[in-house]
């Protein structure tokens, strides 16, 4: 029997989970979207029966926010229906199920970091589809489902294929272009390094806590503007970053203004990620080797 089955191995988080698994003593199998698409119920079911994993970790997501508005059916198929199906299969074979959710399940109106028991209220299709996936998984398999909410994930030397990079890599790219750079100074988040998140996920599984929702993010929070400034600082790029005070709730695609999360449950178990600026410094150092 295999310890872990990882879905979405080519994504930022999936790749780091593979790397973390290789460095640990767990046995694992990992599949890319092309090898095993989470929307293919029959193939998923047959593969799980064949592999017989103790834990399934699902990192697959339809997470480009504008695309979710244009293609809500696709967003719900990946972020809700597929998660529901996986939870059902895991319940049938008593497999622990881990899947990831987002800070975008909240509306940002609390104006301070959200804890696990705060009431969600998504503002757009992306957050709504992810929240629906949470409800579906828990309704189907409350005894074995772990929802890990996170925020502002970045990682890998190429970032996310669907997003054509990630925030850090795109800012570094813009640092080579002419002219000043304008970045939103109002949206507050916890930028989270996928490598830290992957390690924390495996640590959580090792501890075998009660199923439920866990917020796992970098410590502290900041605006995208301040984050961009730190990126240039750590990359030794001398370029001016101009803060833009844009209210994201009034845009065509509404985003929470303050969506930082607070890790309370995992921290009580001893799981704590580095401060966001320290994590960024590590990522830039590793990416620019």
> In 3-state terms, what secondary structure has residue 27?
coil
The verdict on whether 126 is a catalytic residue reads yes
Catalytic residue among 126, 141, 221, 225: 126
Domain definitions of the chain by residue range: 4-153+192-218+259-272
SS3 175: coil
Question: What is the pLDDT at residue 249?
Answer: 54
**221 Cβ contact list (under 8 Å, min separation 6):** 113, 188, 189, 190, 260, 276
Residue whose structure tokens are 């772990």: 146
How far apart (Å, rounded) are the C-alpha atoms in residues 140 and 83?
A: 10
Residue spans of the chain under pLDDT 70: 159, 162, 246-251, 289
pLDDT score of 75: 97
pLDDT at residue 25, as a whole number: 84
Give the count of beta carbons closer than 10 Å to the beta carbon of residue 58: 23
What is the pLDDT at residue 250?
A: 57
- pLDDT value of residue 13: 95
What is the CATH code of the structural domain delimited by 4-153+192-218+259-272?
3.40.50.720
| Cβ atoms within 10 Å of 247's Cβ, excluding its own | 12
CA max distance for the chain: 57
Contacts 24+ apart (CB under 8 A), 156-163: 156/12, 156/15, 156/16, 156/194, 157/287, 159/12, 160/11, 160/12, 160/63, 161/10, 161/11, 162/63, 162/64, 162/67, 163/63, 163/64
pLDDT of residue 253: 85
Helix, strand, coil content of the chain in percent (nearest 5)? 40, 20, 40
């Amino acid at each position: 029997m295999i310890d872990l089955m990882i879905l979405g191995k080519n994504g930022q988080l999936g790749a780091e989970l593979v790397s973390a698994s290789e460095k640990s003593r767990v046995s694992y199998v990992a599949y890319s979207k092309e090898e095993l698409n989470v929307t293919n119920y029959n193939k998923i079911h047959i593969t799980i029966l064949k592999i017989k994993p103790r834990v399934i970790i699902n990192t697959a997501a339809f997470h480009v926010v504008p695309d979710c508005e244009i293609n809500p059916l696709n967003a719900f198929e990946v972020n809700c229906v597929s998660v529901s199906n996986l939870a059902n299969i895991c319940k049938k074979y008593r497999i622990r199920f881990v899947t990831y959710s987002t800070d975008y399940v909240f509306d940002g109106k609390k104006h301070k970091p959200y804890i696990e028991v705060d009431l969600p209220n998504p503002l757009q299709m992306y957050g709504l589809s992810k929240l629906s996936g949470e409800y579906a998984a828990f309704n189907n398999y409350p005894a074995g489902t772990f929802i890990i909410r996170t925020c502002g994930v970045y990682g890998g030397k190429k970032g996310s294929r669907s997003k054509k990079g990630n925030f850090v890599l795109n800012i570094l790219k813009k640092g080579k272009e002419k002219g000043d750079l304008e970045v939103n100074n109002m949206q507050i988040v916890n930028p989270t390094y996928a490598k830290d998140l992957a390690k924390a996920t495996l640590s959580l599984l090792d501890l075998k806590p009660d199923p439920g929702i866990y917020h796992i993010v970098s410590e502290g929070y900041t605006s995208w503007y301040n984050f961009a400034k730190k990126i240039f600082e750590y990359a030794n790029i001398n370029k001016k970053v101009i803060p833009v005070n844009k209210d994201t709730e009034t845009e065509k695609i509404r985003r929470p203004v303050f969506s930082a999360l607070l890790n309370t449950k995992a921290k009580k178990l001893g799981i704590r990620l580095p401060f966001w600026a320290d994590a960024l410094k590590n990522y830039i150092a590793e990416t620019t080797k």
